[in-house]
Structure 1
Amino acid sequence: MRTQALTGKPQSRLAVGIVLGTITAIAPFSIDMYLPALPDMAADFGASASFTQLSLTLFLVGLALGQLIAGPVSDALGRRTPLIVGMTTFVAISLLCALATSINALLILRFLQGLAGAAGLVIARAIARDSFDGPELTKFYALLTLIGGAGPIVAPLVGGQLLLFTSWQGVFVALAVFGACITFTVIISVPESLPQQARITGGLSQSLSTMTRLLQSRDLLGYSITQGLMMGGLFAYISGSSFIMQDIYEVTPQTFSLLFALNGSGFILGAQGAARLVSRFEERSLLLTGLIISSGAGIFLLLGLLFKASLYWVIPPLFLTVFSVGIISTTSMSLALQKHKQSAGSAAGLLGVIGMLFGAAISPLAGLGGSESAAPLGLVIAACSIGAMLSYLLLVRRLERSIGYAEDRNLNA
């Protein structure tokens, strides 16, 4: 059984795709919109830059763990109710973030905000998997990326402009308003995509059994690590770029927002390029191409930052890095979920949790140079890109060539 809203008329599919894509934009908006305010937040709380950056790290940890919870819950209870509950909770916690009076309170609230916002991220992907297969799934994920990918472009611009007439607290109020609008739209326009007979029963034990089975799928694990390393490099850039560009290269918050938005457009171009080419080339070939571009850009960036090159040297490889993430995230997500239709929520949750945990663990490393050196950022991005390519080649590509997925067919039988 397929969801009529997604597989019926093209305009209906587009409408629901816009809603789902906007839901996935919750994460980049929650991350990117407050980036221009990080230096101001550090000054207000009397905290160091690295300690303030923990607000991003803990949000990512919450986003990771939340996906691990929301995915299996949506497999058991359906997609719609957990999605609405998660989004409503996100709105409430965003308002509490604006009222935080200490950096410690903000750190706790950011963790809870990520935990709640994860429901939208993972369930939107699961709804898509309920409805499509093969290249059509890749194309629909690209549609989600096109809409959700506007977040990294629009969010820092909105955040930079908000800071012209309000404080960082106003940024969190704006996030609450954004979340409330999405929640209302979901209530009136997103139908249930998982029929009762397709839901997983058996409670916690069955959920744990499903996760165990998914972890035994070597290709899913390989895609998860590959995507996780790319997310680690991406979030290192996200967390470190504000301090590096404003403190080292001495650009204004508004200029930083424009540069960040420029790089963010690369994500959309990469995802849409993959969607256009998937009918002509294999998804695996597109994924490998993205990994090669990312590795080359990472090395180029590292050399530039080591030798303290100008901003004109640094921006192109950063753009290519984000561009390649658009290719890699779209193709790897589609390839990973195509074999796991009956547990799409759990599989999407597993992919998400590994990606976000990598991001949470790796992103603080970009700030090791403080406001004195940007070299750690280049080293992290280069290492993550090369590591992601090795993960794909060793864990996924080797499996494809040696046993032709026989092991995973037995696991999924």
Structure 2
Amino acid sequence: MSITTGEVTTARRLRLALILGSLSGFGPLTIDMYLPAMPGMAGDLRTSSSMVQLTLTVFVVGLAVGQVIVGPLSDAWGRRRPLLIGITLYLVASLGCAVAPTVGWLIAGRVVQSLGAAAGIVLARAIVRDLFRGTAMTRFFSTLMVVNGVAPILAPVVGGQLLTVTTWRAVFLVLAAIGTVLLVAVFFTLPESHHARTRPRGTLSAFRTLVTDGHYVRYVLAAALMFAAVFAYISGSSFVLQEAYGLTAQQFSLVFGLNGLGIVLLGQLNGMLVGRVAGEGTLLRIGLTVATAGSAGVLVCAALGLPLLLLLTFLFVVVSMLGLVLANATSLALDGHGSAAGAASSLQGLLQFLVGGLAAAAMTLPGPVTAVAMATTMLVCSAAALFVAVRQRGSAE
């Protein structure tokens, strides 16, 4: 069972968007849904809050490492087999987390769960590259941003509502149910998309080619730096907005959801504009310019103590630009690496989480997270992304 680019009908495009968008949303879905439950988990498992926090840390690390493992394997084995194995791991690990008697068990379950989620994220990008080229690929990535963007909007809300009627363990049962649905959907409706297999020993050669390709590295780095700017917001905004500005948990969830909606809207707008109004390179630079200006606005608001509504407006601008930037940068980076799309996708995923993690860590170096520290990190990362992207001027648009 296989599929070729010419067979991607409108109905199949919609099905692909729903399945691949859900797979690429594994990360934010699995992180955000159980965030509201973390305080209660410490008491139930008779452990410290720092140990519960470790369950989040190991998941993010596993998400990064898992992509580097699965991506090259899919170039050799095809996309379908590693994807089915990954979803199965995710499903089993989610059930294991739900019945975890100790925090050690939970940490182990989160490690396995992260490896399964990594397969979904990295292979969703690789499959898109298998099936599409050029502007068509960019438009499909924009469509994925619409589906993917729903995860950070709904996940905290669903997690919070579950806690009103049951315990944190139900969150992992819901994640297991989602994994089951996706496993069935992939098994019955997602054929093999990668036919030009590479030998496993060619993996190092593929990585060497990628890291020496300036075109690929610059676009992937631009995407990673923009991701880091938004990751700084994700990591610091709960402390800044609730502790410094006095928002309640419900008000913060609303702000978080609205910013996620911005990613969806800009992803949809990008799909409408690319190839019709401007090329990928132009839209990428526009997105990064607006994000940098918005980050500067956040910093000015934080430093001068300007009204909260103005700060939230600038935050919305910055976060929304992720929908514009990631689709174009990813398309430009992967376009020339069809035979090694798995490896190319895996390096992009690794770099995003690595740079994002370093940015979040740097934000906390001076001490507790403040609005100024968060805004400064966002500005540095978005400005660096713009600098990298501008250096690509003159490349194919």
TM-score w.r.t. structure 1 length?
0.88
1:199 aligned to which of 197, 200, 204 = 197
Alpha-carbon distance in structure 2 between the residues aligned to 1:249 and 1:163: 25
Residue 182 of structure 2 is matched in structure 1 by: 182
Residue 254 of structure 1 is matched in structure 2 by: 250
Between 1:111-120 and 1:1-10, the stretch displaced more is 1-10
Q: How many residues align?
A: 395
Q: Percent of counterpart pairs with the same letter?
A: 38
Measured after TM superposition, the shift of residue 211 of structure 1 is: 0.8
Measured after TM superposition, the shift of residue 310 of structure 1 is: 4.3
Alpha-carbon distance in structure 2 between the residues aligned to 1:6 and 1:316: 43
Residue 263 of structure 1 is matched in structure 2 by: 259
Does the 8 Å CA contact 2:122/2:349 hold for their aligned counterparts?
yes
Residue 24 of structure 1 is matched in structure 2 by: 24
Measured after TM superposition, the shift of residue 250 of structure 1 is: 3.5
Whether 1:289 aligns to 2:286 is yes
Residue 408 of structure 1 is matched in structure 2 by: none
Corresponding letter in the other structure for 2:236: G
Deviations 1:327-346 (A, max 9, x none): 11000000111111111111
Alpha-carbon distance in structure 1 between the residues aligned to 2:11 and 2:151: 23
Measured after TM superposition, the shift of residue 107 of structure 1 is: 4.4
Residue 171 of structure 1 is matched in structure 2 by: 171
Deviations 1:44-99 (A, max 9, x none): 666457x7555434322211111111111111101111001001101222233334
**RMSD of Structure 2 on Structure 1 (CA):** 2.6
Measured after TM superposition, the shift of residue 293 of structure 1 is: 0.9
Corresponding letter in the other structure for 2:331: S
Alpha-carbon distance in structure 1 between the residues aligned to 2:331 and 2:49: 40
Measured after TM superposition, the shift of residue 351 of structure 1 is: 1.0
Give the 3-state SS of the residue equivalent to 2:165 in structure 1.
coil
Measured after TM superposition, the shift of residue 37 of structure 1 is: 3.3
Does the 8 Å CA contact 1:54/1:364 hold for their aligned counterparts?
no
Does the 8 Å CA contact 1:72/1:346 hold for their aligned counterparts?
yes
Residue 274 of structure 2 is matched in structure 1 by: 278
Residue 117 of structure 1 is matched in structure 2 by: 117
Deviations 1:14-65 (A, max 9, x none): 112211111111111012222333444567666457x755543432221111
Residue 353 of structure 2 is matched in structure 1 by: 356
Does the 8 Å CA contact 1:84/1:186 hold for their aligned counterparts?
yes
Whether 1:300 aligns to 2:297 is yes
Corresponding letter in the other structure for 1:200: T
Corresponding letter in the other structure for 1:221: V
**CA 1:390–1:372 in 2, change beyond 3 Å: closer, same or farther?**
closer
1:345 aligned to which of 342, 347, 350 = 342
Between 1:297-306 and 1:359-368, the stretch displaced more is 359-368
Measured after TM superposition, the shift of residue 154 of structure 1 is: 1.4
**CA 1:318–1:106 in 2, change beyond 3 Å: closer, same or farther?**
farther
Note the residue ranges of structure 1 that are not aligned, 5 or more in a row: 406-413
Does the 8 Å CA contact 1:39/1:243 hold for their aligned counterparts?
no
Deviations 1:368-400 (A, max 9, x none): 677673332212111111111122234x33xx4
Measured after TM superposition, the shift of residue 210 of structure 1 is: 0.8
Corresponding letter in the other structure for 1:341: G
Measured after TM superposition, the shift of residue 311 of structure 1 is: 3.1
Does the 8 Å CA contact 1:5/1:16 hold for their aligned counterparts?
no
**CA 1:106–1:309 in 2, change beyond 3 Å: closer, same or farther?**
farther
**CA 1:245–1:171 in 2, change beyond 3 Å: closer, same or farther?**
farther
Alpha-carbon distance in structure 2 between the residues aligned to 1:315 and 1:257: 13
Deviations 1:190-215 (A, max 9, x none): 111112xx1112x2x21111111111
Corresponding letter in the other structure for 1:242: S
Residue 77 of structure 1 is matched in structure 2 by: 77
Corresponding letter in the other structure for 1:267: I
Alpha-carbon distance in structure 2 between the residues aligned to 1:351 and 1:3: 25
Residue 410 of structure 1 is matched in structure 2 by: none
Deviations 1:202-236 (A, max 9, x none): x2x21111111111101111112111111222222
Does the 8 Å CA contact 1:79/1:193 hold for their aligned counterparts?
yes
Deviations 1:91-112 (A, max 9, x none): 2222333344555654454343
Alpha-carbon distance in structure 1 between the residues aligned to 2:304 and 2:100: 40
Whether 1:135 aligns to 2:139 is no
